[in-house]
Amino acid sequence: MTITINGQPYDLPTDARVSLLDFMRERLDLFGTKKGCNQGACGACTVLIDGERVLACLALAAQYDGRSVTTIEGLADGEDLHPLQALFVKHDGLQCGYCTPGQIMSAIALSNEFSRGAPSSVTTDLDVPATPNREEIRERMSGNLCRCGAHNGMIEAITSYLSEHS
């Protein structure tokens, strides 16, 4: 049983209780993915699994045999930040930095969701593909809580990213 994380293969744990989040943090020392509630309420543990966003605290590692995971550590190209990471810094879309990795991973997945036209609960016209206006972005990012109140900067960063990269 192996799982690929940021391009590296790893043997999955034998203890079936181990969440994907605890597997990465406590067995692999991949601390970039954060634990904020361990019950799927805060979004700090958001990762991409085969391009879709998943809450790693609610995912048992053993479920993901053969799958490919991207975490915050897999975004930057060496010294160069991913464009969305750079935009978060530019627009000061962070304070303590704890929810930040989950916010960024969520926003990247959101970009994929828009590109296939998936609607959200604030989409008013279901006959046409949803477009990334601020209301849509806010709704789709609402599963990622931030207690420092860095929301404005994040939405600014994500809006810029989507307009430049979609």
Partner 1 sequence: MTMRTKDHHMPFVSSPFVTRRDVLVGSAATAAGLFLAEPGLATSLPNAPARSGLGTAYPRRDGPLKVRGAARFAAEHRFPGMVYGALVFSTIARGTIRRIETEAARAASGVVLVMTHENMPRLAPPEPFYASPTGMAGSAIPVMQDASVHWNGQPVAVILASTQEEADHAARLVRVDYEVAEAVTRFDDAAVGAPVAFYAGRDLQYRDGDAEAALAEAEASVDLEFSTPQQNHNQIELHAVTVAWQGGVLRMHDCTQGVDLSAITIAKVFGLDPSQVHLTAEFVGGGFGGKTLWQYHILAAAAARLAGRPVRMTLTREGVYRICGGRAPTRQRVALGARLDGRLTALIHTGTTMKIAQNSMTEPFMEAAEHMYRTDTMHLEIRAGVRDMLANTFMRAPGAAVGTFPLEVALDALAERLAIDPIELRIRNEPEVDPTTGKAFSQRALVGALREGAHRFGWQPRSGERLGRREGEWLVGTGMAAAYYPYKRFPGGAARITLGQDGRAVVELAVHDMGMGTGTATAAVAADRLGLPYEDIEIRYGDNRLPGNMIAAGSQQMAAIGAALTAARDALVAELAALVPAGAALHGRPAEALTTRDGALVLASDPATRMPLADLLARAERREVSAEAAAPPPSEAKEWSMHSTGAVFAEVRVNAVTGELRVSRITGVYDCGRILNSTLAASQFRSGIVMALGMALMENTLFDERSGRIANPSLAAYYIPAHLDAPEIDVAWTGIPDPEAPSGARGIGEISMTGVAASVANAVYDATGKRIHDLPITLDKLL
Q: Which of 94, 109, 130, 162 binds partner 1 (CB under 8 A)?
A: 94
DSSP state of 33: S
Measured distance CA(123)–CA(130) in Å, rounded: 6
Cα distances (Å, whole numbers) of residue 121 to 48, 73, 137, 142: 22, 31, 11, 11
108 binds partner 1 (CB under 8 A): no
DSSP state of 72: G
State the nearest-atom distance from the C-beta of 113 to partner 1, in Å: 15
Q: Which stretch binds partner 1 (CB under 8 A): 48-56, 66-74, 111-119, 123-131?
A: 66-74
29 binds partner 1 (CB under 8 A): yes
137 binds partner 1 (CB under 8 A): yes
- Quote the crossing angle between the two packed helices 100-115 and 151-165, to the nearest 10°: 40
Measured distance CA(138)–CA(161) in Å, rounded: 14
Residues that bind partner 1 (CB under 8 A): 15, 17-18, 22, 25-26, 29, 31-42, 44, 71-73, 75-76, 81, 85-86, 88-92, 94-101, 104, 122, 135, 137-139, 141-156
